[in-house]
């Protein structure tokens, strides 16, 4: 008796399940990359943060996903280090073209997930 021939079946890969925070992070990364592509050599991407009773401009250095939080790290206009930690449902960021720090070369934003 012959062994039956089992035909090969091409099964497409299942889509990756992501959390809502991961989708929000990826959307923010895409928006920042598109915005960054429009900056000149003397400009970098900054963010206007206006929920602290005052306006704060952040020169964005790094964006990362921290569980359900989005963490944006960079420098204030005064050159001080700053980190914004915000729940992904509350992320509301105005992207700006800001002058780069004069003593540093232009560098792309780091995206960590």
Q: Taking a C-beta distance cutoff of 8 angstroms, is the pair 35, 95 a contact?
A: yes
**What digits encode the pLDDT tens for the residues 75-105?**
988 888 999 898 989 888 888 898 888 888 8
Report DSSP letters for 19-87, one per residue: -HHHHHHHHHHHHHHHHHTT--TTEEEEEEE--SSS-EEEEEEEEEEETTEEEEEEEETTS-EEEEEEE
Tell me what pLDDT residue 52 has. 63
Tell me what pLDDT residue 1 has. 63
Name residues of the chain where pLDDT drops below 50.
Answer: none
Tell me what pLDDT residue 103 has. 81
Tell me what pLDDT residue 57 has. 87
Tell me what pLDDT residue 106 has. 84
Nearest alpha-carbon partner for 113 in 79, 77, 68: 68
Q: Taking a C-beta distance cutoff of 8 angstroms, is the pair 39, 97 a contact?
A: yes
- pTM exceeds cut of 0.85: no
Tell me what pLDDT residue 2 has. 72
């Amino acid at each position: 008796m012959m062994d039956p021939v089992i035909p090969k079946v091409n099964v497409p890969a299942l889509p990756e399940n992501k959390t809502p925070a991961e989708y929000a992070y990826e959307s923010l990364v895409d928006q920042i990359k598109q915005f960054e592509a429009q900056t000149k050599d003397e400009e970098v991407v900054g963010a206007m943060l206006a929920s602290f009773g005052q306006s704060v401009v952040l020169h964005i250095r790094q964006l990362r996903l921290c569980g359900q939080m989005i963490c944006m790290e960079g420098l204030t206009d005064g050159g001080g280090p700053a980190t914004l930690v915000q729940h992904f449902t509350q992320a509301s960021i105005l992207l700006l073209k800001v002058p780069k720090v004069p003593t540093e070369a232009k560098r792309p934003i780091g995206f960590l997930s």
